[in-house]
A = this chain, B = another copy of it.
Amino acid sequence: MDTAIESLGVARIPSPLKHVQHVTDDECILYDSSARNVEQQIREGQTPVSFMKAGPRDFMYFDPSKLKCAVVTAGGLCPGLNNVIRAIVLTLYYSYGVRNVLGIRYGFQGLVPQYGHPILELTPKSVGDIAELGGTVLGSSRGPQSVEDMVDALERMNVGILFAIGGDGTMRAVSKICEGIRNRNAKISVIGIPKTIDNDISYMSRSFGFNTAVTVAAEVITAAHVEATGSPNGIGLVKLMGRRAGFIASYAALAKRDANFVLIPESDFDLEGPHGFLAVLEKRILDRKHAVIVVAEGAGQQYAHGEGTDESGNPRLGDIGIFLKEAIDEYFKGKGIELNLKYIDPSYTIRSVEATSDDAIFCTFLAQNAVHAGMAGKTNMVVGNWRDEYVYIPVDLVITGRKQVELDGKLWSSVLEATGQPSFKP
């Protein structure tokens, strides 16, 4: 893996930041923290994988007094978007003296003239209180737009740095826009700030909004527990976010320990049969009179068949929540057992809340480091966090894979321990 990045040219303007340790490009953070692995690699003459450390550089590529920047948010809502927007604007303004920052409306649609979305001017005053609000003041949208149109717009508006906050699709768009820029030999930097409420980006210990999502999801699990214990044979069934990774479901289940079953995309389960989920659930209901089930939206896709793809190009998932609700109802009806199942799908009420303090601070650091990268003339990079250090990672690396819950790792074994659930396999 390569840690080098493309540069727009040579950065020659001295950094205006005071009282701050500046970082050089050869300061790198080890990917692997295992002493044994790293020692072995080095002894064998290999270079261990590492990521470029984030932070202000000694020299800037752009002249702040002449620079215009733009910020865009794309994809679904995620707590912290406004915090990132605000911190980008404040850092550009107060740390670097950049006076022109544009807000692109409704995702990449805002860069395409035919949609007619107006451009916002972002100032310290206009972003001052936005972090108290959930969502994004810029609006968002899904789906790809014409790369030519978008690069045209950036050139026409004379944008020097574009900060793109969004998910998988957005990072792929960043990669393509950078290619378009390179083809024109334009002097535009694009820096990505990856957004995934599911926390499933490779090479990133943590993504913003995840902490908030887990906090709210844990409250919903408590609600499900209250409903489940409130009636005879009560079942609280909660569907949580997690298309390909069950991090939210797993962490939320650990936060309160009210969940009795956690179903995630990473772990297949049988529905029928003596060891299947329904039989185990029946045993629990007969023994304990209530159960709380947490299911990630991407779990059990062999049962809940989705069709086609959504606007962002992701395969459309089948609705495992509704499927399970109906499968459980039918199973217990067949057994002649009265059941009180309450189904909760809190998706939007999780995505739209204000960030926790912890996420708010995290967003601030991400944004500051995104600005440092852009000012130094880096491009086609994202800012991330690896083992408590802020790092710059090539976009193309980030979009190649996804993180998942390891089934023999400490997270999932804690979940198994907390729930006591079996494997649902013969």
Contacts and interface: CB of A to CB of B under 8 A. Distances in A.
A256 interface: yes
A358 B106 contact: no
A230 B348 CA distance: 11
Contacts of A133: 129, 132, 226
Contacts of A388: 33, 205, 387-388
Interface in A404-424: 407-410, 412-414, 416-418, 420, 423
Contacts of A42: 38-39, 42-43
B390 A356 contact: no
Given A30-B33, A35-B48, A254 B361 contact: yes
B387 A387 contact: yes
Nearest to A409: B21
A290 to B, nearest CB: 9
**Which of A28, A106, A140, A361: most chain B Cβ within 10 A?**
A361
A14 B131 CA distance: 44
A365 B414 contact: yes
Contact of A352 (B132, B215, B227): B227
Given A223-B352, A252-B357, A348-B344, A231 B35 contact: no
B38 A226 contact: no
Contacts of A21: 408-410, 413
Contacts of A184: none
A417 B252 contact: no
A352 B38 contact: no
Given A387-B388, A410-B55, A357 B231 contact: no
Contacts of A256: 131, 357, 360
Given A33-B389, A410-B365, A227 B348 contact: yes
Interface in A144-193: none
A141 B106 contact: no
A214 B227 CA distance: 19
**Which of A55, A91, A215: most chain B Cβ within 10 A?**
A215
A19 interface: yes
B223 A353 contact: yes
A383 to B, nearest CB: 13
A77 B227 contact: yes
Contacts of A95: 417
Interface in A115-133: 115, 117, 129, 131-133
A134 interface: yes
Interface string A1-44: 00000000000000001011100001111100111101100110
Given A36-B27, A39-B42, A141 B348 contact: no
A406 to B, nearest CB: 8
B230 A135 contact: yes
Interface string A276-316: 00000000000000000000000000000000000000000
A113 interface: no
Given A117-B232, A232-B139, A34 B28 contact: yes
Interface of A: 17, 19-21, 26-30, 33-36, 38-39, 42-43, 48, 50, 55, 77, 90-91, 94-95, 106, 109, 115, 117, 129, 131-136, 139-142, 205, 211, 214-215, 218-220, 222-224, 226-227, 229-232, 234, 236, 251-252, 254-257, 342, 344-346, 348-349, 351-353, 356-358, 360-361, 364-365, 368, 387-390, 407-410, 412-414, 416-418, 420, 423
15 contacts: A19-B416, A21-B410, A30-B30, A30-B38, A35-B48, A131-B256, A140-B231, A205-B388, A211-B357, A223-B349, A255-B357, A356-B356, A364-B418, A368-B414, A387-B389
Given A38-B42, A220-B349, A365-B410, 18 more contacts: A19-B408, A21-B408, A28-B35, A28-B36, A30-B33, A30-B35, A33-B387, A35-B50, A106-B231, A133-B226, A139-B232, A141-B232, A215-B356, A215-B358, A227-B348, A254-B360, A255-B358, A356-B356
